[in-house]
Amino acid sequence: MPDKIDISKNIKEQISQNHIKMRSKWFFIVEKLGLESGFLFSLLLGLAILCFVLYIMEQNGAFEFTEFGVQGWPVIFDNIPYDLVVAAIVLFALANYIIKQFDFSYRKPFYLFSCSALILISAVGIIMFWTGVNHLMMEKLASAPIVKNIASKKITNSPQGEKAIIGRIVKVGSGVVTLQTVDGKQLGIVINQKIERPLDVRFIPGQVIKIIGSKEGEKFKAKFISIIQSNNRFIKIVPIISPVPNASTSN
């Protein structure tokens, strides 16, 4: 029968030979607090970036085009600030890495924590957006230097890309509506009888409209048009034509 190994004696020998280093219990307490703080910070920063992404898209009018259904989705995808999305993904990966350092991550499937963190961030962000809390929070933070610096580069108050446009009608002609965009430029909108627009609505100078279509040279060929209601923020930010040119209206 083999001799019993004295584990206690063996450990003491390892310590005396500097093969094992003793650490204070405070080391493990501080390490645990650091991991928990890092995990929480990563989640909160990821949520903040998601809220900022939604705010940028809202300010640029991307969500205005959900009214057009499937046709509006390309506009929304064109207006996603993908660099910020990548930053959020990196933070999410960091949070997952920190989770792996916790003892409990070894006792339960890791993917459960990953999915839970992703669902939590997404759910809270979407709820904040739909309740208006996100907008109010971002308006308060807009003066902060880092937020102001990023926002000045990302927020244009108009849809990005060449598939959509928001503007105020300057003149209505035969088959062409002249539109003034948020940046003050004027653009001819080509309209034909097959275009999808609200029934029994006449285009009138001064109206603010949103359009999906394609740019062709110096003009924009419209496929879908909808009039923006008077309580919409874009009514305020699209330049008002004064005086509105006299022009005949057409369907």
Residue 88 has pLDDT above 90, yes or no: no
Query: Nearest-5° angle of CA 126, CA 130, CA 135?
Result: 95
- More confident of the two residues 155 and 24: 155
Of 233, 217, 213, nearest to 225 (Cα)? 213
Supply the pLDDT for residue 249. 42
What CA dihedral angle connects 204, 209, 215 and 219, to 10 degrees?
20
Considering the chain, what percentage of its residues have pLDDT values greater than 70? Answer: 69
Q: Which residues pair with 56 in a beta bridge?
A: none
Cis peptide before 74 (omega within 30 of 0): no
Angstrom CA distances, 120 to 29, 51, 172, stand at: 27, 13, 49
- Could you give the 3-state DSSP secondary structure of residue 216? strand
Confidence class of residue 77 from pLDDT cuts 50, 70 and 90?
very high
Residue 181 has pLDDT above 70, yes or no: yes
Residue 206 has pLDDT above 60, yes or no: yes
CATH topology for the 164-237 domain: OB fold (Dihydrolipoamide Acetyltransferase, E2P) (2.40.50)
Supply the pLDDT for residue 49. 86
Supply the pLDDT for residue 238. 86
Residue in this structure with the two tokens 């809202």, named with its chain if needed: 58
Contacts (Cβ under 8 Å, ≥6 apart) of 208: 166, 167, 168, 169, 227, 228, 232, 234, 235, 238
Of 232, 224, 221, 84, nearest to 162 (Cα)? 221
Supply the pLDDT for residue 106. 46
Residue in this structure with the two tokens 């740019």, named with its chain if needed: 215
Under a CB-based contact definition with an 8 Å cutoff, are residues 34 and 98 in contact?
Answer: no
Q: Kindly state the helix (H) or strand (E) to which residue 107 belongs, with its residue range.
A: none
Supply the pLDDT for residue 162. 84
- Could you give the 3-state DSSP secondary structure of residue 201? coil
What CA dihedral angle connects 242, 189, 164 and 156, to 10 degrees?
-30
Residue 127 has pLDDT above 90, yes or no: yes
Domain edges within the chain:
25-154, 164-237
Under a CB-based contact definition with an 8 Å cutoff, are residues 199 and 229 in contact?
Answer: no
